Copies of this chain bind each other. A is one copy, B any other.
Amino acid sequence: MIIVMKARSQEKELREVVDRIEKLGYKAHIIHGVERNVIGAVGDERGKAQLQSLEVLSGVEKVVPILKPYKLASREIRPEGTVVSINDKVKIGGDKIVVIAGPCSVESEEQITESAYAVKKAGADILRGGAFKPRTSPYSFQGLEKEGLILLANAGGKAGLPVVTEIMNPKDVDLVAQYSDIMQVGARNVQNFALLKKLGRCNRPILLKRGMMTTIEEFLMSAEYILSEGNLDVVLCERGIRTFETVTRNTLDLSCIPVLKERSHLPIIVDPSHATGYWSYVAPMSYAAIVAGADGLMIEVHPKPEEAESDGIQSLKPAKFAALMKDLRVYIEAAGRV
């Protein structure tokens, strides 16, 4: 932590800061500058929030943190990268690109089963489908809940695909874990710390979506919540951030891929459907994500998008998804992946 003193701060004020730093267990190094003094607080990270509070002292201009706040999520502790096993066959973070596909919501047995067979045939590795739906409006379809979980698990079983579905309420963790192979934390819950802590104590891999206003540092801190409770199987998912641009539903931040790869050992996948919000932009953004270094994709596929209860506009029809999967191969190869 670096404490920058004000230009005209006095010796007495400098002393007070040094005293407090030392009382908190840090060693203080003073650099006398031409215009203002700077103090380095050397020591481990505990108590950091209290160091930050020194900014209220009269002689202090600002407190600048130096160390990254995350530990278990940082690349340094596992430089070779993490591979998350979903089941015996599907692993995220290795050489093989993993594709998750399926409808936004589980709507009926027919719809989810048709989806499962279609995405399996096209080459997807995991089936997605929402049973608990976070909808902006209380009047929109809220998901089939437990019935949806059962339909999803059955459809995955029939098609031979592991399944992923969203978990919204800490009390449902056991129920959702029973019917899914990987549990998804949605963008709106990325800082639902009560949920993250609970998931950190379960034995299912977690797909953690970046929130639309979450910085990369906050995103890794949310992963840290899960990791610090003991669950090390976390997959990150970029799904677009909120900006001033409204032509696309969100702005897909693909440069977060090399940034996250540099800072963290966790695998990262990309959801171009929610990011762009429109089916015709999904294919180019899928290709771009893979060559930028993503470990996988999450794509919305619906047999009849024009009748979808949610997100029809961004869902691909099975035929379009199959075409995307075919075209994707050349980019996967070009990127040196499988």
Contact = CB atoms under 8 A, between A and B. Distances in A.
Contacts of A310: 49
A55 B253 contact: no
A53 B139 CA distance: 16
A175 interface: no
Contact of A313 (B53, B217, B221, B229): B53
A334 interface: yes
Contact of A56 (B31, B275, B312): B312
A104 to B, nearest CB: 10
Contact of A275 (B42, B255, B275): B255
Given A215-B247, A306-B56, A69 B285 contact: no
A241 to B, nearest CB: 6
A32 B40 CA distance: 9
A42 to B, nearest CB: 5
B254 A66 contact: no
Best-surrounded residue of A42, A136, A245 (most CB of chain B within 10 A) = A245
Contact of A191 (B67, B134, B309): B134
A76 interface: yes
Interface string A300-338: 000001111110110100000000000000110111000
Contact of A55 (B69, B262, B276, B313): B313
A44 interface: yes
Contacts of A141: 49
Given A64-B2, A244-B244, A245-B241, A46 B139 contact: yes
A117 interface: no
Interface residues of A, number: 110
A64 B135 CA distance: 19
A38 B137 CA distance: 24
A106 to B, nearest CB: 15
Interface stretch (A87-95, A154-162, A164-172): A164-172
Contacts of A139: 45-46, 48, 69, 228
25 contacts: A29-B31, A35-B67, A36-B66, A36-B67, A40-B40, A48-B140, A50-B307, A53-B307, A134-B193, A135-B193, A169-B194, A170-B171, A192-B192, A211-B213, A212-B213, A243-B251, A245-B253, A251-B251, A254-B254, A254-B288, A258-B280, A258-B281, A330-B334, A331-B331, A334-B334
Given A138-B228, A246-B246, A288-B289, 14 more contacts: A29-B31, A34-B43, A34-B44, A36-B67, A38-B40, A45-B139, A53-B313, A69-B137, A213-B244, A215-B246, A216-B245, A248-B255, A254-B288, A291-B291
